[in-house]
């Protein structure tokens, strides 16, 4: 069984790499809305908070998703058994 650090360093499937990048962008936009130097309507600030949280969650989950096939192929090539 893999721990969190091993999962974060293991190969990530292409779809989840794209999803992770989208999450990072969403979190960045949400953070920019929350820290805007001008007064914004409450609805926009609330949306910015939700966007920042959702982006962070999407990025975190996408990062620890493991490409099992590639991990197994890499392990077989190195002669290591990760089971």
What's residue 32's pLDDT? Answer: 96
Question: Is the full-model pTM beyond 0.85?
Answer: no
What's residue 8's pLDDT? Answer: 82
CA contacts within 13 A on the Cβ side of 9: 6
Residue 2 lies in a domain: no
What's residue 81's pLDDT? Answer: 56
Q: Is 10 helix (H, G, I), strand (E, B) or coil?
A: coil
Give the domain range for residue 49. 12-78
Residue 7 lies in a domain: no
State which residues of the chain have pLDDT below 50.
Answer: none
CB 8 within 8 A of CB 63: yes
Residue 5 lies in a domain: no
What are the start-end ranges of the H helices in 2-83? 4-9, 14-34, 42-63, 68-78
Residue 43 lies in a domain: yes
Distance CA 83, CA 61 (A): 22
């Amino acid at each position: 069984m893999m721990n969190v650090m091993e999962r974060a360093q293991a190969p990530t499937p292409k779809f989840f790499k794209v999803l992770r990048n989208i999450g990072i962008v969403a979190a960045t936009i949400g953070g920019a809305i929350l820290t805007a130097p001008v007064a914004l309507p409450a609805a926009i600030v609330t949306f910015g908070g939700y966007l920042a949280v959702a982006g962070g969650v999407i990025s975190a989950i996408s990062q620890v998703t493991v490409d099992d096939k590639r991990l197994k192929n890499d392990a077989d090539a190195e002669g290591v058994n990760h089971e």
